[in-house]
Amino acid sequence: MIQIKSEAELATMREAGLVTAAALAAVREIVAPGLSTQDLDKVAEDVIRGAGGIPSFVGYHGFPATLCTSVNDEIVHGIPSPGRVLKDGDLVSIDCGAIVDGFHGDSAITVGIGDISAEKAELLRVTEESMWRGFAAARLGGRIGDISHAIESYIRSQPHPSGGDWGIVEEYVGHGIGTELHQDPQVHNVGRPGRGPRIEKGLVLAVEPMVNLGSRFTRQLDDGWTVVTADGSLSAHFEHTFTVTEDGPWVLTAEDGGQSRLSSLLAATG
Ligand code: MG
Ligand code: MG
């Protein structure tokens, strides 16, 4: 069922979004070679609990941590561990959720550790930019497929650094979000414009493109959580929680509401 939020509920979701953003910002600030993914998890948990929030992921279907930390060929749902020590050149996807007054925020970044190659940097850039293109395509009265199509078409328009095709992950998708972490509707990262549920006032969505340098296919590890690329290629993942108002997209998990990234995109598309 699609949950439509009131103005007051949107204000609460903004609080959850800002706590989520603060946790990710704190992790981004300290992430470096030699730290374990568990070290990152501790920082995020402290920020969330310090702000009076509750980590969304702890206990979600039994998930044991505040963050999902997914390194290199891991796409999503990696489990933080003291034994997983980050090293120069790694890519780590950091996915974080926080609950404030019963409402969730959900956001992810992928960061390069130390020096990363131009190819890795381009993977991060294309994946993140596709998410912003998705937000910029969202209009009240439009359709979810408009977002999916904007993400897919942007990625496919960008030259692959090795001349191949980007692998856009299809098994895992964005979603509605509110009093549960995952709600209807699904937000696919490939799709056709004008299709799917209508984008209406009070609808809140987590949009989260996952892009592989190799094929799009995935495999789940024996831990029951970690999803990796089937071909071992590198993967990136970005996510924000957003809604659409009469004034346009409002990114609840971005400190500035997404305005710095969206203003030029929205000016370009009218
Ligand atoms: Mg997430
Ligand atoms: Mg999500």
Distance 94 CA to ligand 1 centre (A): 8
Residues around ion ligand 1, judged by CB within 5 A, are 95, 106, 108, 239
268 pLDDT band, cuts 50/70/90, is: confident
Structure tokens at 87: 């090293």
> Model pTM greater than 0.75?
yes
Per-residue pLDDT reduced to its tens digit, 23-58: 999 999 999 999 999 999 999 999 999 999 999 999
Q: Is residue 103 assigned to a domain?
A: yes
Q: Which residues contact 177 (CB under 8 A, 6 or more apart)?
A: 13, 104, 105, 106, 183, 204, 205, 206, 241
Tell me the CATH number at 146.
3.90.230.10
The CB density around residue 192, as the number of other CB atoms within 10 Å, is: 13
d(CA 201, ligand 1 centre) in Å = 22
| pLDDT tens per residue across span 179-223 | 999 999 999 999 999 999 999 999 999 999 999 999 999 999 999
Residue 26 domain boundaries: 7-264
What are 66-83's pLDDT values in tens digits? 999 999 999 999 999 999
Q: What is the mean pLDDT of residues 126-143?
A: 98
Tell me whether residue 269 is in a domain.
no
* Cα–ligand 2 centroid distance for 93 (angstroms): 13
Residue 189 to residue 250: CA distance in whole angstroms: 19
In this prediction, residue 139 carries a pLDDT of 97
Confirm whether 129 is domain-assigned: yes
Q: How many domains does the chain have?
A: 1
Within a domain: 270: no
Ligand 1 mean position to 263 CA, how many Å? 24
Residue 1 lies in a domain: no
Backbone angles phi, psi at 235, to 5 degrees: -140, 150
CA of 97 to the centre of ligand 1 (A): 6
In a domain, 2, yes or no: no
Does residue 256 form part of some domain? Answer: yes
| CA 87 / ligand 2 centre spacing (Å) | 26
